[in-house]
Chain A
């Protein structure tokens, strides 16, 4: 979470597009929430201003200038992997850069080529 945020020139987790939470209590382990680069992205389909477009290689790209902050994309993401930038009132969406992978010392997350 912190690596993702750092990639975009800030500290903390406010603008992170990866999120880790417990599976109902720390004793039950953790869930990694991150965009799974849907083939037919539901977030993109519900965007009323076409601010989201398909990214080459998977995922979506946000055009902030078109976004009106309606949050429909957040609600449409079935797995809850679109987060919210409360200061700018815009979604925070993974760009699949892989920066976070460099800061996961236990190889929980990794980047791999898909066919």
Chain B
């Protein structure tokens, strides 16, 4: 089990290591360890952009031991919501942290001048970051650090773009190019610390308690992963396989959720991208699925005939929803250009798309004019205008773009249009308008994400079976799912494999590592982690009774049935009782 925590103080430019074995034994790793470290390190009511806000990275006991346990958990106080920020990222981050010898990394303080961290095994170096600060493109930063630092092939290169430097509340951290700590503004927390990038590498060996049993369990998991039909789909089309099915059931948010089906969805579907643009498929380290899909976009130079550049651009379901249907963009080439810009600047694609969608509707309704937008007429489907708006947003050219850079919750509090500002707990909505369970999940989940309690999945079951659940049953299911997901995100397993990593398999996989759990003990830890997160959120001012419910979700019909405000309010009360009683 990983047990060492690397502490880095950017203010004093010092680092030290502590062995926290008992801590890891009690809280497993990943989300469990991260929330407890955050509790320890984050002062109450701290401003997320102040030096005192810590960044915690944590990996799990299965990292580098079992396939698809390939993610790293980041925790921090979110500049977007002002509360618990939790973001997960794949790529090579988890393997690199494990091979450097750590179970978690805590970054405190802030540097006075731009800096990047190079963590190579037991050593941490504070390197000069001024030359790569304010660079226009996050790809370039990656390219420079690739050449300057050792560890090719098993290292991670995390960096922010200009959005993070400009403290945009939903700036992301790009890792290895194409993977991200996407949500809740970790990029802005990096920016607040003048931390441009982190490179991590190492070659620590990882002994086993029982190598024969380990190889057997490994094979069982590996074979199950390869045999799984859902894994095959993710390999072939990637998560964008979801575009057509969600559109067919009328759950694909379109034009700021004025509708839930997009008449041109087929053009931006996973099938269409795979057929016309797919250039490469990639995997996170130690994952046999390789769901990462890169489109090859060939664009001509303006002035030179027969002269082209070909760019590789990553696409996923959520990014297609946010910068496609949500703003009405159906031309796949234009959509890819938007994705490329967002990647270069280091923005969260979901929040950016939802922010642009809100701004478009606000302009349609006359709440803002071209004075606010700096001359732009935002119109559904007009990607060129959106590209310009993204640049103005990151450059923070006026008060409107400064407000928009703080998310739609904030922008709508200044300019109006709250009823169509699609944020839940301050976080812009993901791409699922399946029904009540999905939206409840966004409201009550600890990271206000569809990955918390998978409400969309409950809705889909309701749609398929036509069997409604009572509010009591529904909230019970949501909380049970989220409690169990705390175990998966503490191990830290990609949620795609949740159907394979069932309790019995997890218990079996722990044994060759020298650890014993029962199903009950695992479930109890899951609840304990969920409780710790909820308590942290309440400590920082979260109140389920005060959550804003965007009217738009009640107005646009959802496939699992109409959603009423009363049912949401009733559910929130029940959830509060259940979470308090955990």
Contacts and interface: CB of A to CB of B under 8 A. Distances in A.
A57 interface: no
B328 to A, nearest CB: 29
Given A12-B98, A14-B205, A2 B64 contact: yes
A2 to B, nearest CB: 6
A10 B206 contact: yes
Interface string A1-32: 11000100111111100011110111101000
A11 B177 contact: no
Contact of B203 (A21, A26, A86): A86
Given A22-B152, A25-B143, A29-B280, A13 B226 contact: no
B99 A13 contact: yes
A108 to B, nearest CB: 11
B204 A12 contact: yes
B240 to A, nearest CB: 18
A58 B176 CA distance: 36
A75 to B, nearest CB: 16
Nearest to B153: A21
Contact of B280 (A11, A12, A20, A27): A27
A40 interface: no
13 contacts: A1-B153, A10-B207, A10-B211, A14-B99, A14-B204, A19-B153, A20-B153, A22-B153, A24-B146, A25-B139, A26-B282, A27-B294, A86-B203
Given A22-B153, A29-B280, 4 more contacts: A6-B218, A12-B64, A25-B143, A26-B282
Nearest to B215: A6
Interface residues of B, number: 35
B312 interface: yes
Contact of B208 (A10, A20, A105): A10
Interface of A: 1-2, 6, 9-15, 19-22, 24-27, 29, 86-87, 103, 105-106
Interface string B103-139: 0000000000000000000000000000000000001
A21 to B, nearest CB: 3
The 4 closest A-B pairs by CB, nearest first: A21-B153, A27-B312, A12-B206, A14-B205
B312 A15 contact: no
A103 B294 CA distance: 23
Nearest to B121: A86
Given A24-B146, A26-B282, A29-B280, A14 B206 contact: yes
Nearest to B282: A26
Interface of B: 64-65, 95, 98-99, 139, 142-143, 146, 152-154, 176-178, 203-208, 211, 214-215, 218, 222, 226, 280, 282, 286, 288, 290, 294, 311-312
Contacts of A13: 64, 95, 99, 154, 203
B463 to A, nearest CB: 33
B142 A25 contact: yes
Contacts of B288: 103, 105
Contacts of A29: 280
A12 B204 CA distance: 8
A12 B311 CA distance: 33
Contacts of A6: 211, 214-215, 218
Contacts of A26: 176-178, 282
Nearest to B312: A27
Contacts of B207: 10-11
A106 to B, nearest CB: 8
Nearest to B66: A11
A66 B99 CA distance: 28
B197 to A, nearest CB: 15
Contacts of A12: 64-65, 98-99, 204-206
A74 to B, nearest CB: 14
A13 B288 CA distance: 16
**Could you say which of B154, B176, B177, B294 has the most chain A C-beta atoms within 10 Å of its C-beta?**
B154
Contacts of A87: 205
A18 B85 CA distance: 38
A93 to B, nearest CB: 16
Nearest to A105: B288
Contacts of B290: 106
Contacts of B294: 27
A1 B206 CA distance: 14
Contacts of B139: 25
A24 B153 CA distance: 10
B63 to A, nearest CB: 9
A10 B280 contact: no
A19 B286 CA distance: 13
A53 B282 CA distance: 38
A105 B99 CA distance: 24
A105 B98 contact: no
A12 B92 CA distance: 12
Contacts of B211: 6, 9-10
B121 to A, nearest CB: 8
Given A6-B218, A27-B294, A105-B288, A11 B206 contact: yes
